[in-house]
Structure 1
Amino acid sequence: MNSRKKIPMRKCVATGEMRPKKELIRIVRSKEGEVSIDPTGKKSGRGAYLTKDKDTVMLAKKRNILSKQLEASIDESIYDELLDLIEKEKRPI
């Protein structure tokens, strides 16, 4: 029997697109209210997913989407960190 593994899907909060979880990056707010990037997707807390795309991150920043989704203030450094992470992933090794 050839069983195919189910691919977990998540919705990007900026674009509204459903995508495989691996194509998205998770931003999480802990119980203490601290917002951080969760590359593993396993930190506990309220999470929001963004597509790994520079334009999507800029859209989320412009419309303040993460702040609304996580119900917390988002520091500028989070957006800078997201953009750095996307750039590193796109570079060939």
Structure 2
Amino acid sequence: MNRFDEEEKGLLESFEKGEWQSVNDEERVKTLQGYARAMMSENQQVTLNLSSVDLGAIKAIALKEGISYENLISNILHDYVNGQLAELKK
């Protein structure tokens, strides 16, 4: 499952083409490493109240996808906040 947005895909393609160069500015490197650490910090726990019907449906979808229902909920929320969640018509 590829979860990269268009900007991330562009960055990956650029990197794979060898268009990136090392930075020799130690202060800049430390600043960027700090940003990376902040972005990769541990996840925070959230408590949600869901109806048993919704939770059952989420668990069924997660089982089909081969992931935990917690990861599915996290993926759904991530896609929503990044504007990537598409509405499904039944």
TM-score by length of 2: 0.25
Larger helix share, 1 or 2: 2
Larger strand share, 1 or 2: 1
Of structures 1 and 2, the one scoring higher in RCO (CA 8 A, sep 6+) is: 1
- Greater Rg over alpha carbons, structure: 2
TM-score by length of 1: 0.24
